[in-house]
Amino acid sequence: MTRIVLGVAGGIAAYKACELLRRLLADAHEVTVIPTEAALEFVGVATWEALSGHPVHHGVFDDAYEVPHVALGRSAELVVVAPATADLLARAATGRADDLLTNVLLTATCPIVYAPAMHTEMWLNPATQANVATLRARGAVVIDPASGRLTGADSGPGRLPEAIEIHAVAASVLADPEIARRAAARDLAGLRVAVSAGGTREHLDPVRYLGNSSSGLMGWALARAAALRGAEVRLVAANVGLPAPADLQLVPVTSTADLAAAMTAAAAEADIVVMAAAPADYTPAAASDTKLKKTGDDGLRLDLVQTTDVLAGLVRGRTDPRQVLVGFAAETPTAEHSLLELGRAKLTRKGCDLLVLNEVGRDLVFGRPDSEIVVISAERAEPPVAGTKDQLAHRIWDSALEVRAAQ
């Protein structure tokens, strides 16, 4: 059982940490909650104890014979601080040890993830930005806050990311501590990336459409990983019913034609483009303006035409020779053609720099949190890699950076 410390600092967003705690416990982790004194003004000890199933301490002298200010940090395999207020970030960056949480942060040798939340002016203040840079330089993962409604009528960057987003980052760091190093190094900083996600819909009438089973989870993971590593991210989302990752530009689309237009615009300004969406290959020759009615038992015959080949269009329209284009291929291997053979044929047809292969079928890939991929280029095929989609997203960005560095 993995031992996690959940630190909670004193901000109004402390209530969101309750949902994060539930998600961590659902993964069968042992979670110790350490709230600051200020955090207890928002969510009390009884709530944390009831949710975690463990006693909650917040003072360095509680159960002093167990030396909790040292023991908790030493035994933790991951520390997550959510919300991390401006005050908490300042105290952590300067090495203060004036409460139990900051003592744990000083003694922990495991990865530490901070999820800041504060008013916009506090987040953008040079002092806070310097503290964040200091923590990252020491190897900590600091998730950029989301933009949105704050307390009162205020709105802007500084909102705590949703629990599902913080949990995804924590889980990926826990599964692969190397991800923490990449996130702290911000190795995508200064790069603009465009990512597509989800599955397009081609409407037959105002009610029905042709579509596919893509959930958007892989595209979401790619966008989340890129933002965590410092990239400026534009996410083109085709019918994805998920809360958007923090700190990126979201462009919702519906059809393949919409996707092509949005990705063409995004690619014009991008250093790396990843086409993780699943475009529909066919669209009705003419959609009905009214709902199609049943007419006896004759069924329905459709006249379909091919949609725009989005990835091939992006390759043809590329003007920056250093731009890296990554495509995806969801394939069903047969006795005649292996997954790798199908992938190489598609790579040749499309002309992209990298192609991410995965096998699809019943209970495979779509809608699942994990997958197995093979990344291929014209020169080589990387060994198959299995893991969560968040883990795989980081591997895909690693491959894209290698291509860019070799140009």
Q: How big is the CA angle at 93 (ends 12 and 142), to the nearest 5 degrees?
A: 60
pLDDT value of position 297: 77
Q: Do 181 and 205 lie in a common domain?
A: no
Could you give the CA distance from residue 244 to residue 200 in angstroms, rounded to a whole number? 17
DSSP 70: H
Structure tokens at 239: 């019918």
pLDDT in tens, 61-77: 666 555 566 788 889 99
Residue 202 burial (CB count, 10 A):
22
Q: Which residues pair with 5 in a beta bridge?
A: 32, 79
78 pLDDT exceeds 70?
A: yes
pLDDT value of position 140: 97
Q: Do 362 and 341 lie in a common domain?
A: yes
Cβ-Cβ contacts under 8 Å for 148 (sequence gap 6 or more): 155, 159
245 pLDDT exceeds 60?
A: yes
Indicate the residue among 159, 185, 211 that finishes a domain. 185
pLDDT value of position 152: 76
Catalytic position from the list 103, 125, 131, 212: 212
Q: Which residues pair with 208 in a beta bridge?
A: none
Q: Is 212 a catalytic residue?
A: yes
CATH for 104:
3.40.50.1950
pLDDT value of position 268: 96
What is the pLDDT confidence band of residue 358, given thresholds at 50, 70 and 90? confident
Give me Rg for the CA atoms of the chain. 24
What type of residue is 340?
L
Q: Do 212 and 278 lie in a common domain?
A: yes
Q: Do 132 and 204 lie in a common domain?
A: no
pLDDT in tens, 148-182: 887 777 778 999 999 999 999 999 999 999 999 99
Could you give the CA distance from residue 317 to residue 294 in angstroms, rounded to a whole number? 43
pLDDT value of position 64: 56
User: For the residues 209-224, what does the mean pLDDT come to?
Assistant: 93
Q: Do 114 and 208 lie in a common domain?
A: no
Indicate the residue among 151, 170, 185 that finishes a domain. 185
Structure tokens at 158: 């500084």
User: For the residues 135-153, what does the mean pLDDT come to?
Assistant: 90
208 pLDDT exceeds 70?
A: yes
What is the pLDDT confidence band of residue 366, given thresholds at 50, 70 and 90? low
Which percentage of the chain shows pLDDT scores above 90? 77
Q: Where are the alpha helices (DSSP H) in 120-273?
A: 120-124, 126-137, 163-175, 178-185, 217-228, 256-267
pLDDT value of position 110: 95
Structure tokens at 217: 């989870």
**Overall domain count for the chain:** 2
> Is the distance from CB of 319 to CB of 345 less than 8 angstroms?
no
State the residue for tokens 């900590």. Answer: 140
Q: Which residues pair with 274 in a beta bridge?
A: 195, 326
pLDDT in tens, 321-351: 999 999 999 888 888 888 888 989 999 999 9
Indicate the residue among 185, 214, 229 that finishes a domain. 185
Cβ-Cβ contacts under 8 Å for 234 (sequence gap 6 or more): 192, 193, 194, 195, 248, 249, 251, 266, 269, 270
374 pLDDT exceeds 60?
A: yes
64 vs 58, 99, 204, 400, CA distance in Å?
A: 12, 13, 69, 50
Of 388, 361, 351, 352, the closest CA to residue 373 belongs to 388
What is the pLDDT confidence band of residue 141, given thresholds at 50, 70 and 90? very high
Q: Do 131 and 226 lie in a common domain?
A: no
pLDDT value of position 164: 93
> Is the distance from CB of 99 to CB of 7 less than 8 angstroms?
no
Q: Do 271 and 380 lie in a common domain?
A: yes
CATH for 258:
3.40.50.10300
Q: Do 48 and 127 lie in a common domain?
A: yes
Q: Do 227 and 83 lie in a common domain?
A: no
Q: Where is pLDDT greater, at 58 or 241?
A: 241
> Is the distance from CB of 367 to CB of 213 less than 8 angstroms?
yes
What is the pLDDT confidence band of residue 367, given thresholds at 50, 70 and 90? low
pLDDT value of position 391: 95
**What's the N-to-C CA distance of the chain in angstroms?**
44
Q: Do 159 and 13 lie in a common domain?
A: yes
Summary mean pLDDT of the chain: 92
Which residue range forms the structural domain that includes residue 50? Answer: 3-185
Q: Do 280 and 330 lie in a common domain?
A: yes
Which percentage of the chain shows pLDDT scores above 70? 96
365 pLDDT exceeds 70?
A: no
pLDDT value of position 334: 82
363 pLDDT exceeds 70?
A: no
Q: Do 377 and 319 lie in a common domain?
A: yes
